[in-house]
Amino acid sequence: MVKKINSCVLISGKGSNLLSIIKSARDYNFPITIKLIISNNKDAYGLKYAKKYNIPHKFYSSKNQNQFERNCLSELKKNSIKFLCLAGFMKLLSKDFINNFKYKIINIHPSLLPKFKGLNTHKRVLKNKEKYAGCTVHYVNYKLDSGNIILQKKIFIKNNDTAKSLKKRVLTQEHKLYPEAIRSIFK
């Protein structure tokens, strides 16, 4: 049995990537354990997974970023959290916050970074007539979707793909890539 690293997942929405990490973390060989889930949206669907799997969870409003980060830091400390996964977390973290967890915060983005940082990725990918789409797990730095890349998965864009179908196909890959990236970090 590996000594698992106490980790927290930050979410804002559906939490399908959170679910894939929770499921992977049940494997005794998986390097991290999810000790805490934090949402900045009290209605995030992903909080249902926290309840279902009995994982401690907190909602903190991020309207006041300083307050949000102070709340998070204190809760992370209280739970001895050493590693953070952002999974559909829709708020940029400050440089100060990130400095507390250098190379210990990762994120997943639904594009082949460095291409298509930011929102509405799939729509922009199709508009640009790209041949490939995909997803990236990367370290978080203080610039949006710009930290060092850990792993990427590329998929071929079909002629009849829409932003919706592409989102769905990329998301399926995200659910495999995120746990794989976590394993690769701690290998």
Q: Can you give the binding site for ligand GRF, defined by CB under 6 A?
A: 13-17, 46, 87-88, 108-110, 171, 174
Q: In angstroms, give the least distance from the CB of 148 to ligand GRF.
A: 17
Q: Which helix (H) or strand (E) holds 115?
A: none
Catalytic entry in 109, 122, 138, 175? 109
Q: In angstroms, give the least distance from the CB of 71 to ligand GRF.
A: 21
d(CA 125, CA 119): 11
174 Rama class: left (phi>0) / alpha (psi -120 to 50) / beta:
alpha
Q: Which helix (H) or strand (E) holds 104?
A: none
For residue 17, which phi and psi values (nearest 5 degrees)?
-70, -35
Q: In angstroms, give the least distance from the CB of 147 to ligand GRF.
A: 13
Q: In angstroms, give the least distance from the CB of 47 to ligand GRF.
A: 11
Question: Closest Cα to residue 85, out of 4, 3, 178?
Answer: 178
Closer residue to ligand GRF in complex, CB, 74/118: 118
Closer residue to ligand GRF in complex, CB, 15/179: 15
d(CA 5, CA 15): 21
- The yes-or-no answer on residue 122 being catalytic is no
Closer residue to ligand GRF in complex, CB, 76/171: 171
DSSP line for 74-97: HHHHHTT--EEEESS--SPPPHHH
Closer residue to ligand GRF in complex, CB, 72/171: 171
Q: At what angle do helices 16-25 and 163-185 cross, to 10 degrees?
A: 30
Which residue numbers are catalytic? Answer: 109
